[in-house]
Amino acid sequence: MRTVLVLMDTLRRDVLSCYNPVTDVQTPHLDAFAERSCVFDNHWIGSAPCMPARRDILTGRYNFLERPWGPIEPFDVTLPQCLRAQGAFCHITTDHCHYLRTGGEGYLQEFNTWDYHRGQEGDPWVSRIDEPTNMPETFYGRVREQYQKNRQLWPREEDMPSPKTFQSACDWIEDNKGHDDFFLMVEAFDPHEPFDVPDEYMEMYGGDEGLDRDYFEIPLYKRVSDTDVTPEAEAYIQRRYKALVTMTDRWFGKLIDTLEANDMLDDTLVMVTTDHGYFLGERDYMGKNYMHLYNELAHLPFIVHFPGGARAGEHAGQITQAIDIMPTVLEAHGCEVPADVCGVSLMPLATDAEAPTRDYALYGVHAMTVNVTDGELTYFRAPVADNQPCFEYAALPHTIRKKMGSDCPEEIECGRYFARTRYPLFKIPCKKPAQIEGSAPLAEVSETMLFDLATDYGQTVNLAGTGDAREQRMIELLLRGLEEHEAPAEQKERLGLA
């Protein structure tokens, strides 16, 4: 059995014609792939943002209920670990720079081999003390000096990190053609910001029209109304994102062409998805993380090519999440699914369009809201005013930008807190969400919200607190989810549900 998992960071579902027929984004290769695959319409985020989502994928469990952004834990049972135990070869190729920074440890090492293509975002790659010569004089948002140094080393499109990632996957397939027992993870950082894209793609969407400064590739994670971004600049950054999606699609097409040229596509399980969406001015937001997980962030693309082309051109309406990828791949490879995996295999859907998956999806960012959907309603449960009690549980206390508990080492406890492992864990008081910067990290998520997706997909009419009887049903579903996914007991108190 062969499996290829393609992860494109920050790929919004509304740019793809299989989800949004009126999109103006040009993705001919993803469109063609969707036509010969099964498109999942009810795929939801789990743990957000980047590294929490990846731990969901590799462990089949939610990360966000227990800890923020962080490494693979020593007690984690991972997808590559299970496959390798059965003799499958596992390889990852990626330009996702967060694997090589604090809080990203241990993921790549789960694979037999890995490729990493340097330079994205703030990757400390090009080592020059002098300021780069390509710093713009005027700009919107942010400019990363390190990225400006890095980008000088890719004069051509094919030198850029995400194209190199896809090309390395093509080369790996060529080098290993004829083998039929492998798991290949192809993970492109694009279309994540910086929205760095050659001019030829920008010309497809209007070029620099309306931009009155030299540079705008990295939005500030703020409300648009709290920045100096003009409507014209907002339209420009939306076009840059679209252009980068189109470039990423081109290189994805090369991967599919390589599989097909080597007669490896038809009988290979190929999955294409993302970790989260992104705001580009909608609801007055730019970026992610600090706001509610509205559909722009939480309702994700997921396209699956089943071996033999089963369900080609069809849509599946069952609820799915990233935690379902692990059991799906394991079943496809004939491996036993570990008992602690909370995801559900989707392989039965290849032969039975009515096969059940799950009746709800939990999702969230650690220490912020806990959210649940049954596919008809979405419910965002805000924490109590002081967001306490709240803890981070980890054997390896690293997170993004810092070591966990560095602000309160004298308050850290240690014990055996999870039923699934006897590994001792640190129990670290969480004063504010690790992913969020700023003085008021919960300002945007202080209100509990309930939305009817059938009548209000745009999530504009909050039904929470209006006497709608369905709110109690969603509260009960949320409580059930916390129990079934073994959330720390204090989560209920933090959410005002004790």
Q: What is the mean pLDDT of residues 141-151?
A: 98
* 478 vs 326: CA distance, rounded Å: 23
Residue 356: inside a domain, yes or no?
no
Q: Check whether residue 298 and residue 374 sit in a common domain.
A: no
Q: pLDDT confidence of 438, banded at 50, 70, 90?
A: confident
Per DSSP (E only), the strands in 404-447 are 413-415, 425-429
Residue 355: inside a domain, yes or no?
no
Beta-carbon neighbour count of residue 328 at 10 Å?
Answer: 27
User: For residue 101, what are its two tokens?
Assistant: 């920074």
The per-residue pLDDT for range 355-394, each reduced to its tens digit, is: 999 999 999 999 999 999 999 999 999 999 999 999 999 9
Q: Check whether residue 184 and residue 82 sit in a common domain.
A: yes
From 350, 383, 416, the end of a domain falls on 350
Q: Pick from 19, 67, 48: which is nearest to 287 by CA?
A: 48
- For the chain, percent helix, then strand, then coil, each to nearest 5? 30, 20, 50
Q: Check whether residue 423 and residue 450 sit in a common domain.
A: yes
pLDDT at 388: 97
Largest CA distance in the chain: 63
pLDDT at 436: 84
* 5 vs 274: CA distance, rounded Å: 10
pLDDT at 440: 82
pLDDT at 479: 98
Q: What is the mean pLDDT of residues 51-72?
A: 98
Is 34 in contact with 273 (CB distance < 8 Å)? Answer: no
The residue range of the domain holding 83 is 2-350
The per-residue pLDDT for range 97-108, each reduced to its tens digit, is: 999 999 999 999
The per-residue pLDDT for range 262-291, each reduced to its tens digit, is: 999 999 999 999 999 999 999 999 999 999
Q: Check whether residue 301 and residue 377 sit in a common domain.
A: no
For the chain, the domain total comes to 2
Is 112 in contact with 87 (CB distance < 8 Å)? Answer: no
Q: Pick from 485, 439, 446, 404: which is nearest to 64 by CA?
A: 485
The per-residue pLDDT for range 188-207, each reduced to its tens digit, is: 999 999 999 999 999 999 99
Q: pLDDT confidence of 480, banded at 50, 70, 90?
A: very high
Kindly tell me the sign of the dihedral angle through the C-alpha atoms of 464, 465, 466, 468.
positive
pLDDT over threshold 90, residue 466: yes
Q: Pick from 265, 349, 335, 334: which is nearest to 302 by CA?
A: 349
Element (H, E) at 121: none
Mean of per-residue pLDDT scores for the chain = 97
Residue 41: inside a domain, yes or no?
yes
**Rg of the Cα trace of the chain?**
22
Find tokens 């930008």 and name the residue: 401
pLDDT over threshold 90, residue 494: yes
pLDDT over threshold 80, residue 439: no
Q: Check whether residue 280 and residue 417 sit in a common domain.
A: no
